[in-house]
Chain A
Amino acid sequence: DGGITQSPKYLFRKEGQNVTLSCEQNLNHDAMYWYRQDPGQGLRLIYYSQIVNDFQKGDIAEGYSVSREKKESFPLTVTSAQKNPTAFYLCASSRVRQGGEKLFFGSGTQLSVL
C-alpha cells in the first residue's frame, strides 16, 4: 500500500539527548513536511522540503533539524536545544503543482520527556 510511515509510534527522550523521528513515503511525492501538535491545538509547521537536498524552516524550527538525502525520507531530529519537546509529531507529503493538492499524513509519533 502507498502511504507515509512514521516510526516509532512512541518515543521517550532524556535530558540533553537528541532523538530522531523517522518518516518514509512511497507516494513519489516531492514535498515533505513536519508538524508539531500540542494537546487541543492545531498543527504548527516545523520544517518542509520541496526537493531532495533542500529544506526550509517553518514557523517553529528552533531546536529541530532535518535532512532530505532521499526523496522518500525526511527524518526529524529533536535536539537538546528544544526545551519543551513533548508533543505529537506528524509528517506529511504532497505533490508540488498549481491547483490544489492533498496533504497525506503519517500516523504520528508521540514524544515524551523522561
Chain B
Amino acid sequence: LAKTTQPISMDSYEGQEVNITCSHNNIATNDYITWYQQFPSQGPRFIIQGYKTKVTNEVASLFIPADRKSSTLSLPRVSLSDTAVYYCLVGDTGSSASKIIFGSGTRLSIRP
C-alpha cells in the first residue's frame, strides 16, 4: 500500500499561493494521486487527480515530477474559505478504493 506523508499543518494569508507537498515513495505503476478537501463536520470533497506531469482545473493545480514519488497541490490566491484539511491519496480509486489510506491530512489555515 502506498503510504503518503504530508505536513500536519500550514498557515498562509489571503491572496497568497499555497503549495502543499505530499511524499509517496512507494507509489505503484497503476496508482493515481488524488487530493480531497474537508471542512469541519462535512465529508471530503474531490479537488484534483493526476497521474503524471501537471493537471489544472478551476480550483487547483497538481504538479507531479517524473519519478512520481511526490506531488504538490497548488492553490492560487487563497481566501478564508480555503481553510480546511487537505488529504493526499495514492492508489487506484477506481478498482481498489478499499485500499486507499487516508492519513491525517494537512490542516491549512488562511488568515486575513
Contacts and interface: CB of A to CB of B under 8 A. Distances in A.
Interface centre among A41, A43, A44, A102 (most CB of B within 10 A): A43
Contacts of A98: 30, 92, 94-95
Nearest to B103: A42
A94 B98 contact: no
A25 B71 CA distance: 31
Interface string A25-40: 0000001010100001
B24 to A, nearest CB: 14
A47 B70 CA distance: 29
Given A98-B92, A102-B46, 15 more contacts: A4-B43, A35-B102, A42-B105, A43-B102, A48-B97, A48-B98, A88-B41, A90-B44, A95-B94, A99-B32, A100-B32, A100-B34, A100-B93, A101-B93, A108-B41
Interface of A: 4, 31, 33, 35, 40-45, 48, 50, 56, 58, 88, 90-92, 94-108, 110
Interface residues of B, number: 25
A100 B8 CA distance: 26
Contacts of A58: 98
Interface of B: 30, 32, 34, 36, 41-46, 49, 51, 87, 92-95, 97-98, 100-105
B43 A90 contact: yes
A74 to B, nearest CB: 13
A107 B42 contact: yes
A61 B21 CA distance: 32
A77 B97 CA distance: 22
A56 B98 contact: yes
